């Protein structure tokens, strides 16, 4: 409810990309003001501003367009940090449709949203794999590749070309011209943003982890080779550091936590777990490697969400049989992060794993097998799986999950300790990302990943990076808030935090060494 | 004296292109501010400013340069209308030499002056023909050519390429790199400026004579294809209209007339006669076609200044012989504007032309011949000329001069009438341009071209367009004054002025129908 209200407030706000249809008196001998100066004068009046800049390349054709339509033009402008800038003019008879693109620049998946900048409504949306995956699925591989001769420009070229291809598809599908796309906002992590901009990511992964730049003024799209209006501003979300990027700032914006006096948590679990606590006065953030076990590729049977991937698991206490639900109800092919958490919770509640996360042979029965010296639990027998192979969960996979869940809980505890607010006092806990939408809070509580709070405390927000990017593109207030958020975030470095290591050890049990922290879990145990 | 003082004031002023060598603390885990943000922060502090912008293309290599020299950098910046902009950084061990180029962009001759922006001294200077001459010597031909397919970009390419070639020569000769040239200012008439910028000049010569643009913010040199530092600002002087360009605004700046309470005249005679009257409170200007007879190409023997060109003429009253002085004392080849005025004055004083400017046969003797029905006076017999042909002055040449001098005097009278200050009250009369340096005020007074004022009233200034361009490049105050001058000039349109036509008729006599206006001339008549 609160979040909804904030977003409405933001969109009621003034746009920073807009059109103006000024009344221009054509020149005569008594007023020989030049064409461009004449245009700028009326625009200044219409916008009640003292400053309207004109890109030099634009000057070269403004006069012609003005004369071709007898000075009846519609001007498209954006407001930068130092005043308004002319993006383009079009004959006013051609109408005033202008569009923008919000981009969630993920390392795995990129989502672009086409927005009508007049009605402020979403017109279309498209998602696709980040083509840099062909260089490397993980970020470090891409950073190393960028250090090779020509590597950086190849990585940048891959994402720019794919974006242009998708923008073209989106424009054609919606019957609009690329030139009418007059703004873009891009939220991504710090490395993805560096690669998008062609900035050297070399130092991002080397102590003391320094980005090339934190805050950028909007960039002309032509400078990035983007196939939209060449003077369109590209708002690239700023970062707080190597490990706290623009995607999280977009998330904070979208969550609305900075619009409230109440202190809330925002958790985004991707490759890293990124966590923010704060309110309208302050923001404290940290990030840690909590995520690997929760993303595809860590567990042998783990994978990213897709058809046939197990997303929910329930167990029947009497039979020890699993009731599984797959995406699109396809025969099971593997398991995703939310499914894994569900599964671990069920295994624990059924006594099939103990409080250290180790398989209990007596409870697992003949489902437990040993392959290459590693204990594996058969989750889906070969006859039921889509692959013809049994889907199994190795002890090592559970061990990985235990570290991840411990890291997550420890990050949350460390952060709340750092601001001296007990976890139990938090009334709102926003969970961002695809993962956030699928995760079952009860299961996550059961394994001690997140605090044992009333379930309604947990609010899934979906793709907050995309949502925040769209908000900042459409509202001047939201755009300003992006930079205020960035400047207000205090980043807590966990790598040098001794308290973290102590808490981490205590959190490597299910649900925790201190059982009193998780009263509801005991009730649910068989 | 006064002018000298103003120019010193201006150069005492703060530069708008400068270097800063900030103390940068290298990053560590406790301060993970990004490289570029780190740099900008210290520059802001050093300049005591809240705003330093960085060109996006520059971001891509700032970080590398900073790290290569252990954060010991020298930053080069310029102040634009909305704050400071970074032009470049260099390792501070490489020193801080920065240079600028002032350009007088004439339609016939281009002069470039290399300035040391630290010492604010002229390092070198070079002049060359405007290569657009090969398209057409006069401005109208070039405007028509620009309307042809590819014509405009050909004209722009000609001047840009030639400038780059000369800049390269200048840099090599002075042992400096093109990248260390970090600023440029260009003063030219409105058409030359349009062609330099690649702006369509089509409407400049068509009623109601509207430029594409009056005032431009500094342009990045790379956008114009100039071979200096790519982020160097190019300050293009603004114009008041099609017929009052940046060269004249530079002239007003260099003359210092806006720094004085006394009302002064500034006259610049090129293809047009451009005249300004004003003081620190107001400026009134007009331009008219007074010049043609005074430039090479109108009189049959007329030509631009060069070796062998007659620049001074005296006559011996007793013998009617001419005593001529040529440039570099070479055998005579022709006559330039100042020589022509001298000659006409001597002819009048010797009674060889009458008050209408017509040859008096009785006084000219056998020097007066008739060729193709036109009376010609032999100035240099064939035996003495460099061409082997006699140099003669046709009646039609004198007729042309009479129209020009009448136009000039009428412009001066009209302007002074318009502000209700009699010509006789003017105590300072600045004469700009090469022509202004050579003209003998006494001769010009004799033929009634300029008012009969004490000779010391007339002050030659040389190339004020170049001088003003240099001042504006080196001083923030002078740059600001350029735009204040532009906004203060009131332009008097002579084409629609009836008074002008009446005064013009009265001024077509030597020195004038009203002899009382020229008391000194009578004294000098033989």
State the maximum Cα–Cα separation within chain B, in Å, rounded to a whole number: 100
Q: Is A332 on the interface with B (CB under 8 A)?
A: no
Residue B481 structure tokens: 């004054």
Task: Tell me the pLDDT tens digit for each residue of A479-504.
Answer: 999 999 999 999 887 766 777 888 88
Mean pLDDT of the B415-443 span: 90
Task: Tell me the pLDDT tens digit for each residue of B234-244.
Answer: 999 999 999 89
Task: Tell me the pLDDT tens digit for each residue of A382-407.
Answer: 998 888 889 999 999 899 889 888 98
CB contact under 8 A, A59 and B199: yes
Burial, A196: exposed, middle or buried (Cβ in 10 Å; 0-12, 13-18, 19+)?
A: buried
Testing the interface with B: which of A44, A201, A210 to mutate, by most B Cβ within 10 A? A210
Residue of A51, A219, A496 lying closest to B56 (CB–CB): A219
Helix or strand or coil: residue B184?
Answer: strand
User: To the nearest whole angstrom, how far is the Cα of B55 from the nearest Cα of chain A?
Assistant: 9
User: To the nearest whole angstrom, how far is the Cα of B124 from the nearest Cα of chain A?
Assistant: 30
- Residue B250, pLDDT above cutoff 90: yes
List residues bridging with B17 in a β-sheet.
Answer: B78
For residue A1, name the pLDDT band (cuts at 50, 70, 90): very low
pLDDT of residue A21: 94
Which carries the bigger pLDDT value, residue B75 or residue B308? B75
Phi and psi torsions of B147, nearest 5°: -75, -15
Phi and psi torsions of A188, nearest 5°: -150, 170
For residue A137, what are the CA distances in angstroms to A9, A134, A247?
Answer: 38, 7, 18
Query: What average pLDDT does the structure give for chain B?
Result: 90
pLDDT of residue A12: 55
Task: Tell me the pLDDT tens digit for each residue of A239-252.
Answer: 999 989 999 999 99
Q: Is A34 on the interface with B (CB under 8 A)?
A: yes
Residue A63 structure tokens: 């006069």
Percent of chain A with pLDDT strictly greater than 70: 93
- Global ipTM: 0.89
For residue A413, what are the CA distances in angstroms to A422, A484, B113?
Answer: 8, 26, 67
Query: What average pLDDT does the structure give for chain A?
Result: 90
CB contact under 8 A, A34 and B209: no
Residue B108 structure tokens: 């016939």
- Residue B189, pLDDT above cutoff 90: yes
Instruction: Find the range with the poorest average confidence among A290-294, A426-430, B125-129, B412-416.
Output: A290-294
Instruction: Find the range with the poorest average confidence among A58-67, A288-297, A312-321, B501-510.
Output: A288-297
Single pTM value for the model: 0.90
Residues 52-81 of A with CB under 8 A from B: 53-54, 56-57, 59-60, 62-64, 67, 81
pLDDT of residue B469: 98
Mean pLDDT of the B185-195 span: 97
CA B401 centroid distance within chain: 22
Q: How far apart are CA A266 and CA B24, in angstroms?
A: 35
User: How many interchain CB pairs under 8 A, A with B?
Assistant: 128
Strand order in the sheet with B121-129: B121-129, B109-116, B99-105, B181-188, B233-236, B219-220
CB contact under 8 A, B63 and A241: no
Q: How far apart are CA B74 and CA B65, in angstroms?
A: 11
pLDDT of residue B500: 82
| DSSP state for residue A332 in the 8-state scheme | P
CB contact under 8 A, A37 and B215: yes
pLDDT of residue B495: 65
CB atoms inside a 10 Å sphere around CB B306:
14
- Residue B5, pLDDT above cutoff 50: no
Percent of chain B with pLDDT strictly greater than 70: 93
Task: Tell me the pLDDT tens digit for each residue of B459-494.
Answer: 999 999 999 999 999 999 999 999 999 999 998 877
For residue A242, what are the CA distances in angstroms to A223, A284, A468, B65, B275?
Answer: 24, 16, 20, 20, 62
Q: How far apart are CA B401 and CA B215, in angstroms?
A: 36
For residue B420, what are the CA distances in angstroms to B412, B414, B415, B423?
Answer: 12, 10, 9, 9
Mean pLDDT of the B119-123 span: 96
Q: Which residue in A has a C-alpha nearest to residue B494's C-alpha?
A: A29
């Amino acid at each position: 409810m609160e979040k909804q209200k904030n977003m409405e407030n933001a969109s009621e706000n003034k746009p920073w990309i807009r059109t103006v249809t000024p009344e221009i008196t054509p020149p005569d001998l008594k007023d020989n003001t030049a064409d461009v100066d004449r245009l700028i004068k009326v625009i200044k009046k219409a916008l009640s501003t003292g400053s309207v800049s004109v890109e030099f390349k634009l000057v070269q054709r403004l006069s012609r367009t003005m004369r071709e339509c007898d000075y009846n033009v519609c001007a498209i402008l954006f407001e930068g940090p130092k005043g308004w800038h002319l993006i383009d003019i079009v004959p006013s008879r051609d109408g005033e449709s202008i569009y923008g693109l919000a981009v969630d620049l993920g390392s795995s998946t990129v989502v672009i949203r086409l927005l009508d900048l007049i009605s402020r409504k979403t017109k279309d949306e498209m998602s696709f794999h980040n083509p840099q995956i062909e260089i490397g699925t993980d970020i470090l591989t891409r950073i190393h590749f960028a250090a090779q001769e020509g590597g950086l420009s190849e990585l940048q070229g891959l994402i720019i070309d794919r974006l242009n291809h998708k923008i073209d598809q989106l424009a054609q599908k919606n019957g609009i011209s690329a030139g009418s796309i007059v703004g873009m906002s891009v939220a991504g992590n710090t490395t993805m943003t560096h690669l998008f901009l062609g900035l050297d990511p070399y130092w991002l992964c080397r102590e003391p982890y320094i980005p090339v730049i934190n805050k950028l003024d909007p960039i002309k799209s032509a400078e990035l080779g983007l196939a939209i209006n060449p003077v369109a501003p590209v708002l690239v979300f700023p970062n707080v550091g190597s490990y706290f990027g623009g995607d999280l700032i977009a998330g904070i914006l979208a969550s609305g936590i900075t619009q409230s006096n109440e202190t809330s948590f925002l958790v985004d679990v991707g490759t890293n777990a990124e966590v923010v606590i704060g309110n309208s006065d302050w923001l404290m953030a940290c990030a840690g490697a909590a995520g690997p076990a929760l993303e595809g590729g860590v567990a042998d049977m783990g994978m990213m969400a897709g058809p046939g991937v197990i997303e929910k698991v329930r167990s029947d206490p009497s039979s020890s049989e699993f009731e599984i639900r797959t995406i699109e109800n396809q025969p099971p092919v593997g398991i995703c992060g939310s499914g894994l958490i569900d599964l671990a919770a069920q295994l624990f509640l059924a006594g099939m794993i103990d409080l250290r996360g180790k398989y209990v042979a007596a409870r697992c029965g003949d489902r437990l097998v040993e392959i290459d010296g590693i204990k594996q639990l058969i989750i889906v027998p070969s006859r039921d799986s889509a692959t013809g192979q049994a889907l199994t969960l190795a002890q090592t996979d559970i061990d990985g999950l235990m570290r991840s869940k411990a890291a997550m809980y420890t990050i949350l505890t460390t952060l709340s300790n750092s601001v001296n607010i007990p976890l139990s006092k938090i009334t709102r806990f926003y969970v961002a990302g695809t993962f956030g939408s699928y995760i079952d809070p009860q299961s996550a509580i059961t394994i001690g990943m997140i605090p044992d709070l009333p379930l309604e405390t947990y609010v899934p927000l979906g793709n907050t990076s995309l949502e925040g990017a769209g908000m900042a593109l459409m509202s001047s207030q939201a755009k300003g808030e992006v930079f205020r958020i960035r400047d207000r975030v205090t980043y807590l470095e966990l790598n040098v935090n001794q308290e973290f290591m102590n808490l981490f050890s205590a959190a490597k049990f299910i649900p925790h060494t201190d059982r009193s922290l998780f009263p509801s879990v005991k009730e649910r145990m068989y």
